[in-house]
Amino acid sequence: MLSLDLGIASIPTLWIWAGCPYDRRSSGGYCIFLASNLISWSAKRQQSVARSSTEAAEYRSFILRSKPFLQSPPFSLRGCKENFSTSKQQVTASQNLLTEVLTATRTELILFLRAEAAAAAAKHANGTMVAFLIVFLTSLLTLTTLPAAESRLYSNYYRKSCPRFNQIVQDTVTNKQITSPTTAAATLRLFFHDCLHNGCDASILVSSTPFNKAERDADINLSLPGDAFDVVVRAKTALELACPNTVSCADILAVATRDLVTMMGGPYYNVPLGRRDGRVSKASAVEGTLPRPAMPVSQLIQVFGSRGFSVQEMVALSGAHTIGFTHCSEFSSAIYNYSKSEQYDPQYNPRFAAGLQQACADYHKNPTMSVFNDVMTPNKFDNVYFQNLPKGLGLLKSDHALFNDPRTRPFVELYAKDQNTFFQAFARAMEKLGVHGIQTGRRGEIRHRCDEFN
């Protein structure tokens, strides 16, 4: 069994059955992917075997004729996976994430399939083969005619509807960062907690009601700083005056995060626009979806891996700890009465541990007491966080674990040695995080207020 993978990012699966029934009795069919997830395009699976050796031969012949063309970039032939879904909900969700296929490649493939369909019809081939070619051709044409707002994100999404969008957001975050220097780190953390949990849909911004406990009130989110929420609200207020009911809170949070990272000396990265705000926010759904300060590496890898992020991407995103702070309560067990024989975790540099004990001495009385994540350059986005870890200057148990675990240590050492490499990896990971689980087109809404559903 063969499959065709067009290898184009952000395009959902298109699985068309053609002599490739679930019971695997057919001898010549193959499956077609437009990304990694498998979704059945047909409403009914083919359950019969190939009706003749001629039919099977034609399927095989088509594959062989297609192979030279399809092996050229950006196509690839690979083995079929067994798992798939026929859920209409998944199909609809995937259609909303379609990205426009590049015209040149698409045109070549359409012409190729059109010729194959004509040849099959001319030879009086069975209807299944002709139908397969026609359905696939029609599906490709469908990709080209989806409304732009439903099919992809654009960097200039608000060019006509809100031309001052970027400037308004930039002015807002600049003013906020000047008056509240913790805003950058706070917003970066808020963005991370929003996107990694259930996609970048601004559900983290929604306030709880008597009828619903929202995400922001989940245990792990209670320490999210108010400055991050405030900067989004300020930008939304300004944008509603300039272009009412146009800009989503999800887009505001994504761009504000990028601009603040850049202001702190970090890398600039692309933030395509067109996200819509989610209509669901439940604290009960958050548990287990976000990393915790004391998580072992295996569990961290599982959390990130379940969201499609590699170990290297996980380490790169952990570099966000180069700015910001952590409440003493999050690591107090590692610096006070660590064990019967040791006062603090021996992974800490002794002088650093003593400093932490002094800085957090009254944290029981004042739960807001905090320490910078990177004590060397706390207000600069750089790679010093990674340089600190081999010296025992990591703040959290998970920080030490990144250096001690053989699966993550090579990336820590790489980023500690080369800041440009870290910046490039961080930018790519943030671009990927920024489109994780997004809602576009008719899904979601444009909230009038970021803290409540319409």
Structure-token pair, residue 156:
């200039």
DSSP bridge pairs for 452: 449
Residue with tokens 């990927």: 432
- As a whole number of angstroms, the longest Cα–Cα distance in the chain is 86
Is 364 one of the catalytic residues?
Answer: no
Integer Rg of the chain from CA:
26
DSSP bridge pairs for 371: 326
DSSP bridge pairs for 15: 40
Query: Which element (helix H / strand E) includes 78?
Result: strand 76-79
The CA angle 364-370-376, to the nearest 5 degrees, is 145
Asked whether residue 171 is marked as a ligand-binding residue, the answer is no
Structure-token pair, residue 88:
């209409």
Number of other CB atoms surrounding residue 244 within 10 Å: 11
Structure-token pair, residue 171:
């002015």
Residue with tokens 């409304």: 147
How far apart (Å, rounded) are the C-alpha atoms in residues 434 and 147? Answer: 22
Number of other CB atoms surrounding residue 115 within 10 Å: 12
Asked whether residue 345 is marked as a ligand-binding residue, the answer is no
CA dihedral 66, 69, 75, 81 (to 10 degrees): 20
How far apart (Å, rounded) are the C-alpha atoms in residues 440 and 437? Answer: 10
Asked whether residue 201 is marked as a ligand-binding residue, the answer is yes
Asked whether residue 374 is marked as a ligand-binding residue, the answer is yes
Q: Which of 124, 193, 197, 436 is catalytic?
A: 193
Asked whether residue 377 is marked as a ligand-binding residue, the answer is yes
How far apart (Å, rounded) are the C-alpha atoms in residues 307 and 38? Answer: 17
Asked whether residue 451 is marked as a ligand-binding residue, the answer is no
Residue with tokens 């610096």: 335
Q: How many helices (H) does the chain have, and how many strands (E)?
A: 17, 5
Structure-token pair, residue 338:
């660590």
How far apart (Å, rounded) are the C-alpha atoms in residues 446 and 426? Answer: 29
Structure-token pair, residue 401:
């674990």
Following DSSP, what letter does each residue of 103-131 receive, concatenated?
HHHHHHHHHHHHHHHHHHHHTT--HHHHH
Query: Strand, helix or coil at 278?
Result: coil
Catalytic residues: 193
Please report, in range form, the residues annotated as the binding site. Answer: 194, 199, 201, 203, 215, 291, 321-322, 374, 377, 382
Please report, in range form, the residues annotated as the binding site for Ca(2+). Answer: 194, 199, 201, 203, 215, 322, 374, 377, 382
Please report, in range form, the residues annotated as the binding site for heme b. Answer: 321
